[in-house]
Structure 1
Amino acid sequence: MMSQQTDVNPEEVKLLMKLTFYTQRKHVNQGENIKNLLKEWPFLFDELGMAVHFQELTGIGLKEAFTRNLDLKGKRLLSYMKTVCVNKSRKFLEALTKYQVMRGELSGCSEDLKDMVLLLLSYFDEKEDAIFCYVEDTCLAGEVHMDRVPLTPTIVVCGRSCYSAKRFMLSVDQNIVQDNIPSFMSVLCLMFGSYYCLNIHYPSCLASTLEFLQRCFFSINPEKGTKVEKTKRSRLHLNPRVLTLIQELSDYEWIDV
Structure 2
Amino acid sequence: MELTFSLQRHHINKLPPPDIEDVKSKWPFLFIPRYIYAHFELLTDINVPRSLELSMEECGRAITEYFRGRPTYKDVKDILSNGEDNEMALRIVQLLMAHFGEDITGFILFTDGSATAADDVQATLRLPASPRLILPVSGATGQVTIKGWMITLEGRVISEGITPTFLTELAAMFAIYYILNVQYQDEAACTLVFIQRRFIGINPERGTKAKRGKVVSKKKGVIVQKKSSAVNTHVAMLLKKLLDFEWNFI
Alignment correspondent of 1:143: 120
Identify the structure with the greater helix proportion: 1
Alignment correspondent of 1:189: 171
Kindly indicate whether the alpha-carbon contact (under 8 Å) linking 1:168 and 1:181 is maintained by their aligned counterparts in 2.
yes
Structure 1 residues 28, 164: closer, same or farther in 2, change over 3 A?
Answer: same
Structure 1 residues 104, 246: closer, same or farther in 2, change over 3 A?
Answer: closer
Report the Cα distance in structure 2 between the residues aligned to 1:75 and 1:115, rounded to whole angstroms. 11
Alignment correspondent of 1:241: 234
Alignment correspondent of 1:119: 95
Report the Cα distance in structure 1 between the residues aligned to 2:65 and 2:100, rounded to whole angstroms. 17
The superposition leaves residues 90-127 of structure 1 with CA deviations (integer Å, 9 ceiling, x where unpaired) of 3x2x22333245x44626xxx11111000000000012
Unpaired runs of 5+ in structure 2?
215-224
In the alignment, is residue 97 of structure 1 matched against residue 77 of structure 2?
A: yes
Report the Cα distance in structure 2 between the residues aligned to 1:69 and 1:104, rounded to whole angstroms. 22
In the alignment, is residue 37 of structure 1 matched against residue 23 of structure 2?
A: yes
Alignment correspondent of 1:129: 105
Unpaired runs of 5+ in structure 1?
1-16
Aligned length: 229
Alignment correspondent of 2:161: 180
In the alignment, is residue 106 of structure 1 matched against residue 85 of structure 2?
A: yes
Task: Name the amino acid aligned to 1:69.
Answer: S
Alignment correspondent of 1:209: 191
The superposition leaves residues 138-162 of structure 1 with CA deviations (integer Å, 9 ceiling, x where unpaired) of 1121011466222222111112679
Structure 1 residues 105, 75: closer, same or farther in 2, change over 3 A?
Answer: closer
Alignment correspondent of 1:169: 150
Query: Which consecutive aligned stretches of 4+ in structure 1 deviate over 6 angstroms post-superposition?
Result: none
Alignment correspondent of 1:7: none
C-alpha deviation, 1:180, in angstroms = 3.0
Report the Cα distance in structure 2 between the residues aligned to 1:189 and 1:153, rounded to whole angstroms. 14
| TM-score of the two chains, using structure 1 as the length reference | 0.82
Alignment correspondent of 1:153: 131
- Counterpart secondary structure, 1:19: coil
Report the Cα distance in structure 2 between the residues aligned to 1:43 and 1:97, rounded to whole angstroms. 41
| TM-score of the two chains, using structure 2 as the length reference | 0.84
Kindly indicate whether the alpha-carbon contact (under 8 Å) linking 1:133 and 1:149 is maintained by their aligned counterparts in 2.
no
Q: CA RMSD in A?
A: 2.0
Report the Cα distance in structure 2 between the residues aligned to 1:214 and 1:67, rounded to whole angstroms. 14
